[in-house]
Amino acid sequence: MAVRVETGGGPDRMAVVRRAGLLAVGALLAAVPAAAQRAPAPPRHPNIVILLADDWGFSDVGSFGAGYATPNIDALAKAGVRFSNFHAAGSCSPTRAMLQTGVMNHRAGLGNMPETIPDAHRGKPGYDTVMNHSVVTIAQMLKAAGYRTYLTGKWHLGSDATRLPEARGYDRAFSLADAGADNFDQRPIEGMYDKANWTDNGKPGKLPKDYYSSRFVVQTMIDYIEADRASGKPFLASVNFLANHIPVQAPDSDIARYAGLYRDGWTALREARARRAAALGIVPAGAPMVTMATTRDWKALDADERRAATRTMQAYAGMATAMDREIGRLVAHLKASGDYDNTIFVFLSDNGPEPLDPYNRLRNRLFLGMEYDTSIANIGRRHSFSAIGPGWASAAASPLSGYKFSATEGGLRVPLIIAWPGHPRVRAGAISDGLAHVTDIVPTLTELAGVPAHGGTWEGRRVEPLAGRSLVPMLAGAAGSVHGDTPIGYELSGNAALFRGDYKLVRNLPPTGDGRWQLFDIRTDPGETRDLSRTMPDRFTAMRADYAAFAKANGVLEMPAGYTADDQINLYAWRKQGRKRAIQAALVLGGALVAISALGWLLIRRRRARRVDQAKADVIGA
C-alpha cells in the first residue's frame, strides 16, 4: 500500500505526517504473519551450579543450626528451599554416583568403595567400586541439550580413561580421583594413596604454588565458565569441595576467627546446635536425642587432649568458613556477569560427618608422626593431619544419632538447599520436611531446565532407568513428599535402611549398632530414640519384606563376619603403607647392593692395577 505525504509547515500539516507514518507502520505489520508477531523469544535454559560439600553433618550450615559463619550458603537458603528430611548415602562415592545419575548406588556400581569393600565382594555385580557404564550422568544429559559442562574437585568415581569426568559428559574437568588429599600441597593422604591423583582434562594435573583446595576449585570453575562464554550456551558447573574431609586444614586467619570457641566440648556444642535447629524450624521443637556411646566424657580428658580437640574443631569451623567464602566469590562473579538470576543452585553434603580417629591405633600414631607435624600448635595448618573424631562428629550431626558410614540419620540425613533466585517455581525461604533422596536431584534439575531425562535408553543402548522423582512440587510449596508411601531402600557396608512415608526401618552393624532391625518415625523422632518395632509389628514386618525385595533387586551382599568400615579402611591403608615401605626398603636395599657392587668393582680394579704395577716393577728389576 502506497502512502502519499505532503510536507509543509503548520501543526495540521504535522499531524497529517504523523498519521501517515502510523499507517505505514500498520501496513508493514499487516504484512507479517500473525503467529510471528505473537511468538516470544525462545526461553533460555537456566545455568546449574552444584555445590557438593564433603563430610558436612546435618547441622554444619548456619541456616541448619551451626554456630560458625556460613553467610553465603545461608543467603542461598534465604533465596531457595531448605530440605530438612533429605537423605544421601553413608559415604562419598555411593552418594556421588547417585547424584550424578539418579540411579541407586548398587545399580551404578558403587555397592561399596575401594577403601571399604571386603575382599570377598570385589568384582561381584554391583560392587565395581567405580561408576559403571550402565548409567548416564547429568552432564551427558545436559550436554546433549546444548549445555557447557564443567567439573572441579573431588570425583572419586573411577580413575581410568573411560571413567574420568571427561569420559562421562564433562567438557572440562580438573578432578581428584581419590577420597581426599592435602588441602595446601599436591600431596595424598599419606598411607592411603601413593600420590594425589589430580587430572586436568584427563591428563596428570599440576596444582599451583598458592594452592588451597576450596579457593582452587572455585577459581578453576570461574575460569572454565569465562573461557567459553562466547558460545552463548548455558552451563552446568559441578563444584566438588574437599572441605571438610580429612585432613581438616584451613588458612590461619580462618582458624584464628574461632580461637575463643569450643572450649566447653562436644556435648555442650551438640546441645546448643539442637536448640538452634529447633528454633530455625529444621527439626521439631523438643525432639529427643541420644548420647552416642562413642562420645567420650569431655571432662575426663586431660588438659592436652582438650587443647588438641578444641583446636581441631576451630580448624574445622575455619575450613567450613573458607569454603563458604569461596561460594560467595562464585555467586558474586555470577551476579557481576548477569548469570545469577537465571542460575539454579544446589548445595548438599555427600554424607554425614567423619567419626574416624586416625590416631586411635599406636601404629597409626607412629606412622603419622613420621609423615606430618602433629604438634598441637600445627593442628589444621600446612603439613598437619587432623580429624574431628566421634566427639565433634556427634555435634556436627546434632540432633541426629550416628554419623558417616552408618545408616543412622546422622550418617544419611544431610543439608540440602535448592535455590533459583527470584523464580516462581522455587518458594524462597521455605523449609520442606518431606522425605527426599539424592537420586531425586537429577530428575529435579532436568525438569527445571526443560531438558528431557532419558527413559532407560541412551544412544541406542539400554541403561539403568532413573530411580528418583522430581522435587519440583516440594520446591513450589507442596506439603509432604513426592514419594508418598513408596519404599526407598538403601545399603552400604552392611548398614541398611528402608524409608516409607514418615517411617524408617534400619539396621546398623557394630560398632555403631548391634545388627538388629529397628523402626522409627523420623518425622517426629529424627534422633531415632524410640524403637517402634514392637508397638507397630505389622508395619515392621511389611517394611522388612520391602527391604528384602530391594536387596534382591539390587544384588545386595551380606557382609563377612566381624566386618567394620573402620577396620577395612585401616587394612586398606596398611596394605598401601606396607607396599610403600616395601618399595622404600627395596630401593634402600637396591641402593645398598649398587653401592656394594661399586665398591667391589673398585677394589677389583685397584687390585688389578697393583698386579700390573708389580709386574712392571719385576720386569724393570730383571
Is residue 87 annotated as part of the catalytic site, yes or no? Answer: no
Given a contact cutoff of 8 angstroms between Cβ atoms, the answer to whether 328 and 32 are in contact is no
Please state, in angstroms and rounded to a whole number, the distance separating the CA atoms of residues 164 and 284: 42
Is residue 156 annotated as part of the catalytic site, yes or no? Answer: yes
Please say whether the dihedral angle defined by the alpha carbons of residues 378, 582, 156 and 564, taken in this order, is positive or negative: negative
What are the backbone angles phi and psi of residue 482, rounded to the nearest 5°? -65, -15
Residues in contact with 439: Cβ distance below 8 Å, sequence separation at least 6, in sequence order = 98, 102, 103, 104, 466, 467, 468
* Sheet strands (E) in 350-487: 416-419, 430-432, 436-437, 457-458, 461-462
Element (H, E) at 602: helix 565-621
Q: 181 - beta bridge partners? A: 188
Catalytic annotation, pick one of 87, 106, 156, 437: 156
140-144: Cβ within 8 A, 24+ apart:
140/168, 140/169, 140/458, 141/169, 141/442, 141/446, 141/451, 141/452, 141/453, 141/454, 142/48, 142/169, 142/236, 142/446, 142/449, 142/451, 143/169, 143/171, 143/236
DSSP codes, 130-145: S--TT---HHHHHHHT
Three cell numbers at 123?
Answer: 568384582
Catalytic annotation, pick one of 92, 106, 245, 437: 92
Residue 146 gets the label, from left (phi > 0), alpha (psi -120 to 50) or beta, of left
Please state, in angstroms and rounded to a whole number, the distance separating the CA atoms of residues 329 and 432: 27
Q: 127 - beta bridge partners? A: 110
> What sections of 457-564 are H helices per DSSP?
472-475, 537-554
SS3 432: strand
Three cell numbers at 63?
Answer: 541456616
Three cell numbers at 48?
Answer: 546449574
- Size (the chain), residues: 622
The DSSP call for residue 4 is -
Please state, in angstroms and rounded to a whole number, the distance separating the CA atoms of residues 500 and 487: 5
Please say whether the dihedral angle defined by the alpha carbons of residues 153, 464, 442 and 496, taken in this order, is positive or negative: negative
Rg of the chain over CA atoms, in angstroms? 30
Q: Which residues are catalytic?
A: 92, 156
